[in-house]
Structure 1
Amino acid sequence: MKKSLLILFFFIGYVSLAQVTVNALFQDHMVLQRNKPIAVFGKAATEKQVVITFKGKTYKAKVENNNWKFFLDETEAGGPYTLSIKGENEIVFSDILIGEVWLCSGQSNMAMQMRGNFGQPIKGSNLEILKSTNQNLRLFTVKRNLSKEPVESIEGNWQLAEPKSVKEFSATAYFYGKMLQETLNVPVGLICAAWGGTPAEAWTPSEIIHTQFKDFKGWNKNEKSPQKNPSVLYNGMIHPLQPFTFKGVIWYQGEGNKNYYQNYTALFSSMIKSWRHNWNQGDFPFYFVQIAPLGWGGGNQAYLRETQLKTMQSVKNSGMAVTLDIGEKFNIHPAEKQKVGERLALWALAKDYGFKDIDFSGPVYKSMNVKGNKVVLNFEYAQLGVTSLNKELNDFVIAGEDKVFYKAEAKISKGKLEVWSDKVTKPVAVRYGFKDWVDGSLFNNAGLPASSFRTDNWESIEVKE
Structure 2
Amino acid sequence: MIEHKSVKVILVVLLGMGFLPFIKAQDRTPLKFADPLTDNMVVQQNKPFTVWGTANPNAEITITPDWTAPITVKSTETGNFKGIVPVPAIQEGDYKPHTLTLLSGTESKQLANILIGELWICSGQSNMQFSMKEVPNAEAEIAKATNSHIRLFNTKLNFSDTPIQNVTGNWMECTPQSVREFSAVGYYFGETLQKKLNVPVGLLFTGIGASAAQAYVPKEVLKAHPTLDSAYLEPYLRSEKSKEKIDGGFTFEKVTRPYLLYNALINPFTNLSIKGFCWYQGESNRNERGTYTRLMYAMIESWRTNFSQGNLPFYYVQVAPFFYDIEDPVRADYAFFREAQERISELGNTEMVVTMDVGESKDLHPKNKKPIGVRLANTALNRTYGFLDVRYQGPQFEYAEFNGHKAFVHFKPESVNTGLTTNDGKLPQHFQLSGSDQVFYPAGAKIVGNRIEVYSDKVRKPVAVRYAFTNYPVTNLENTDHIPALPFRSDDWKEPVWTTKK
TM-score (norm 1): 0.91
C-alpha displacement of 1:448: 0.6
After TM superposition, the structure 1 stretch with the greater mean CA deviation from structure 2, 251-260 or 358-367, is 358-367
Match 1:96 to one of 103, 108, 114: 114
The structure-2 alpha-carbon separation of the partners of 1:392 and 1:91, relative to structure 1 and needing over 3 Å to count, comes to same
Give the structure 2 partner of residue 245 of structure 1: 273
1:11-160 alignment, distance < 5 Å: 13-14=25-26, 17-54=28-65, 55-64=67-76, 66-77=79-90, 78=94, 79-88=96-105, 89-116=107-134, 122-160=135-173
Give the structure 2 partner of residue 311 of structure 1: 344
Verify: 1:452 aligned to 2:487, yes or no. Answer: yes
C-alpha displacement of 1:12: 8.7
Verify: 1:422 aligned to 2:433, yes or no. Answer: no
1:102-123 CA-to-partner distances (Å, cap 9, x unmatched) read 000000111111112xxxxx11
> Is the radius of gyration larger for structure 1 or structure 2?
2
The structure-2 alpha-carbon separation of the partners of 1:373 and 1:75, relative to structure 1 and needing over 3 Å to count, comes to same
C-alpha displacement of 1:351: 1.0
The structure-2 alpha-carbon separation of the partners of 1:18 and 1:460, relative to structure 1 and needing over 3 Å to count, comes to closer
Q: Which runs of 5+ in 1 are unaligned?
A: 1-7, 117-121
C-alpha displacement of 1:76: 2.5
1:275-314 CA-to-partner distances (Å, cap 9, x unmatched) read 00111101111111111001224692211211111111x1
1:377-406 CA-to-partner distances (Å, cap 9, x unmatched) read 122311223222313322111112222222
SS at match of 2:231: coil
1:109-159 CA-to-partner distances (Å, cap 9, x unmatched) read 11111112xxxxx11321121111111111001110011111111110111
Q: How many residues align?
A: 450
Match 2:477 to one of 424, 438, 442: 442
Distance 2:485 2:397 in 1: 8
Match 1:301 to one of 330, 334, 337: 334
Give the structure 2 partner of residue 5 of structure 1: none
Contact 2:411 2:450 in 1 (8 A): no
Contact 1:378 1:416 in 2 (8 A): yes
SS at match of 2:385: coil
Letter in 2 for 1:174: Y
Letter in 1 for 2:123: S
Give the structure 2 partner of residue 282 of structure 1: 310
Give the structure 2 partner of residue 344 of structure 1: 376
Verify: 1:394 aligned to 2:429, yes or no. Answer: yes
C-alpha displacement of 1:459: 2.4
After TM superposition, the structure 1 stretch with the greater mean CA deviation from structure 2, 395-404 or 438-447, is 395-404
Verify: 1:355 aligned to 2:387, yes or no. Answer: yes
Letter in 2 for 1:441: N
Give the structure 2 partner of residue 3 of structure 1: none
Match 1:385 to one of 419, 444, 448: 419
Distance 1:217 1:375 in 2: 41
C-alpha displacement of 1:217: 6.5
Distance 2:179 2:459 in 1: 54
After TM superposition, the structure 1 stretch with the greater mean CA deviation from structure 2, 398-407 or 290-299, is 290-299
Distance 1:246 1:455 in 2: 39
Verify: 1:411 aligned to 2:428, yes or no. Answer: no
C-alpha displacement of 1:453: 1.3
C-alpha displacement of 1:461: 5.5
Distance 2:21 2:461 in 1: 86
SS at match of 2:97: strand
C-alpha displacement of 1:39: 1.7
TM-score (norm 2): 0.85
Contact 2:31 2:54 in 1 (8 A): yes
Root mean square deviation, CA, Å: 2.3
Contact 1:217 1:260 in 2 (8 A): no
The structure-2 alpha-carbon separation of the partners of 1:354 and 1:329, relative to structure 1 and needing over 3 Å to count, comes to same
Q: Which runs of 5+ in 2 are unaligned?
A: 1-19, 245-250, 327-331
